[in-house]
Chains A and B, each alone.
Chain A
Amino acid sequence: MTKARALALTMTMTLAALLAVASRGRADEPRVIDITAKRFEFSPATITLKKGEAVKLRVTSEDVTHGLFLRPLKIDTDLEPGQTREMTVTPEKTGTFLAICHHFCGAQHGNMKLTIVVE
């Protein structure tokens, strides 16, 4: 084997290994669910997760400061307008849970809920 061919083979193997690692990394990335918050609703209003599966929630407020709170999933965050918050959750129990806005945002604040179904 010439020096050039050996170098080419080494580079190919290294690239293949790197690609394999990158590919594995993507497979390990949690599923992402985008959620928007605006007075007085979350959109989508219902999301479905799987027990034991890590999921990244990416939540953006479109108007005023809101909050997102659900104690069983340890979600407790402020949502400043225009900013996106990310949180990764891994449900440990099945069931239907109500996450709420816990940042008073107006008269219908009490109706601002996100239903999370864990299957």
Chain B
Amino acid sequence: MKEDFDRRKFLKIAGISIGVGALFQVTPLLGETAAGRRVASLLGKKNGEAPTPFSFVQLSDTHVGFSGPPNPNGTQAFERAVELINGLPRQPELVLFTGDLTHDSENPGEHADRMRKFQQIAGRLRAPLVRYVPGEHDAGLDGGKLFHDTFGDSHYSFDHRGVHFIALDNVSLARPNVGPEQIAWLGKDLARFPKTAPIVVFTHRPLFDLRPDWEWFTGDGDEVMNLLAPYENVTVLYGHIHREHSHTEGHATHLAARSLIFAFPDPEAGVPKKPIPFDPQKPFQNLGVRTLEQGGASRKPRVQEVELTLREYAGTVGIQQFLKEGVSL
């Protein structure tokens, strides 16, 4: 009986509060009542750590080494994004890169140079924890060797303040798949968690069929999502599509980040998949970073899209002005 009671309370509180988008308010709620404290304690025991407030940032598709008409400015947007993050009044504890860190090169030496350049810029981040997954432009030609040599494993998991983060690699195999080995690993990784544990998956390609004819899918993504389906608070962060997108299916919310090199058009606009042309008057238009606030009463993550528009370039209110005006990102 006692177990049933705890479970019901656990779910009730989880339903209104726990989730990637709601952790900011979870902790005070959990701490306010005896039942809440019990739930926090339960979560702490089951997850190894009770959820506590924090924020993190997702960056994606920096394509270091890319040079072409869609963006003749190379790494400028990436470098601006790093400055932006370092200038935030409250530093994120974690930055996640969701692939295509580099633009591929037929010359392995040149590709390695591009990866070093990426590391130089990413190394300026003040956030204490930075984690990466590869995109097909990082790993498609060499099966992930350069990525592994640089960062180690391309799939792994870790816990941070009571949230379980899972990095999945859906680009290193020949086909756009996660693959049976990684899926087996994921099943084992998830097994120790209660169904209410907050889980953030970060990967490169969408794990659902967004636009298969634009290669915006993962062949065995449904197997991944089937494993995650019993879990009630799942957020999947991905890149690849170079634009923001939100999709909810079951308990999972899938969120795509903008690129830091060029944007693709709306997949539902009936236009071809071609980069949105570069506008020299607005060099950072449609590019940007995404910040996810761990707070709010809603279970949905509170997403802030940040365009890297600067007054000196575009004549509009830029991010430095946001910061000066004290707007919290």
Contact = CB atoms under 8 A, between A and B. Distances in A.
B37 to A, nearest CB: 50
B213 A104 contact: no
Interface size class of B (residues with CB under 8 A): 10 to 19
A98 B176 CA distance: 17
B325 interface: no
Contacts of A109: 136, 140
Nearest to B105: A107
B141 A100 contact: no
Interface string A87-119: 000000000011110111111011000000000
A103 B215 contact: no
A78 interface: yes
Contacts of B213: 70-71, 97-100
B174 A110 contact: no
Contact of A106 (B141, B176, B273): B141
B164 interface: no
Interface string B171-187: 10011100000000000
B171 A104 contact: yes
Contact of B140 (A76, A99, A104): A104
A106 B175 contact: no
A106 B209 CA distance: 23
- What is the interface of chain B mostly: helix, strand, loop, or mixed? loop
Contacts of A70: 213
Contacts of B212: 69, 71, 100
Given A102-B175, A104-B136, A104-B171, A110 B104 contact: no
Interface string B195-223: 00000000000000100111100010000
B106 interface: yes
Contacts of A97: 213
Nearest to A67: B175
B174 A103 contact: yes
Contacts of B243: none
Interface in B51-109: 103-106
A60 interface: no
Closest 8 CB pairs of A and B: A104-B140, A98-B213, A104-B136, A71-B212, A103-B174, A100-B215, A102-B176, A107-B104
22 contacts: A65-B174, A67-B175, A69-B212, A71-B209, A71-B212, A71-B213, A76-B219, A98-B213, A100-B212, A100-B214, A100-B215, A102-B175, A102-B176, A102-B219, A103-B174, A104-B136, A104-B140, A106-B106, A107-B103, A107-B104, A109-B140, A110-B215
Interface of B: 103-106, 136-137, 140-141, 171, 174-176, 209, 212-215, 219, 273
Interface of A: 65, 67, 69-71, 76, 78, 97-100, 102-107, 109-110
Given A102-B175, A104-B174, 4 more contacts: A100-B215, A105-B140, A107-B137, A110-B215
